[in-house]
Amino acid sequence: MLTITRPTLLLNEKQCKANIRKMVDKAKRFNVDLVPHFKTHQSAEIGEWFRAFGVESITVSSVKMAEFFAKEGWGNITIAFPFNVLEIPAVNRLLERNVAITLFAVNGSTIERLNKELVAPINVFIELDAGYPRSGIPTNSISEITQLAQLIEKGAMTNLYGLYCHPGNTYQTNSVAEIKQIWTEGIKKVNTVKLHLGELGEGLKIRMGDTPGCTLVENFEGVDEIGPGNFVFYDLVMNYLNVCTEDEIAVAVACPVVAKSAERSEIIIHGGAVHFSKDHLFDGKEQKFFGEVVILEEEGWSSIIDGIKLTSLSQEHGVLKATPEIFETIEVGDVLGILPIHSCLTANLMKSYLTFDGQVINHLEKL
């Protein structure tokens, strides 16, 4: 067994690679290009696992992340975030290194700045909002989208590459059928935009980007590329949505037990909001919780233990509420595994991974 003395993010390498293989195989089966989002793992080593499965193009969520992965030899990178014009000099440095860059656009002023200040051409996605009002132009704003497309095509440094949609409302659903319906409607709306663009729309790529849809949907007609990220680890949100099985979750936080309260049937662990974030779910009784407990094993962990949950977080403290029977089986000095609600945030906070063969894998934020 590994020696754990403080909160540690454990990575099941075998399961992680199985998750990658499954998505790569699915993309091939449906003849769509997989451009995986690396924001979940943010690791050079895990990136190499993708490369071993034939992945050549990647997605990131910041210029900083693009710089990191460009240094690791990735030459085709999409920055999936409404572009921040203050980072044009950093993008120029990437272009000077012959990195192919694709950016997101949602307004004309960004395109005007790019065409004035870039040192080499880039591809541009118009980000569309098909029902998840975070960023992107609403798909029914045809005139606005058309004007932006014309401006992009007019520019010497901007090439209109495609239309992008992240149907993030799939994360807020109650059923697999609802996830599939959101995707069906989203694809229809995006393709309607493409049709309305006429000649401008000819040859444009359509990319969809969420893990629930990319995992569950079996009809990719009208989609050219997919860019999911969370699937590399999955997490409890994905499990509760029936997107993944419990066994497919590839990360768990190992947390030492530091105190017990018999009066409250509570167990205190070293593992708080600085390790997990404060993302949460609700159980069947509508009680908020921040993680599920597993027992660590030689090469992984057990199934989720009934009768105990991570119910409260402060900065460093985690409080587990347990049944009397479970409470008696756990001692101060034990190390418990906690499956995270949101693996992307947990990985970003923990900043490194430990595999079961003792390998430390660093995260971008650790370097």
Domains of the chain from N-terminus onward: 75-228 (3.20.20.10), 246-366 (2.40.37.20)
Q: What is the pLDDT of residue 152?
A: 98
Q: For the residues of 34-56, what is the DSSP string, one character each? A: E--BTTTT--HHHHHHHHHTT--
Residue type, position 92, single letter: N
Q: What is the pLDDT of residue 112?
A: 98
CB 74 within 8 A of CB 60: no
Rounded to whole angstroms, the Cα distance separating 270 from 286 reads 25
Q: What tokens appear for 338 in the block?
A: 């906690």
Q: What's the predicted TM-score (pTM) here?
A: 0.97
Q: What is the pLDDT of residue 168?
A: 85
Q: Which residues pair with 259 in a beta bridge?
A: 268
- b vs e for 166-176, b when ≥16 Cβ sit within 10 Å of the residue's Cβ? bbbbbbebeeb
Q: At what angle do helices 142-154 and 176-196 cross, to 10 degrees?
A: 60
> Which of the residues in the chain have pLDDT under 50?
none
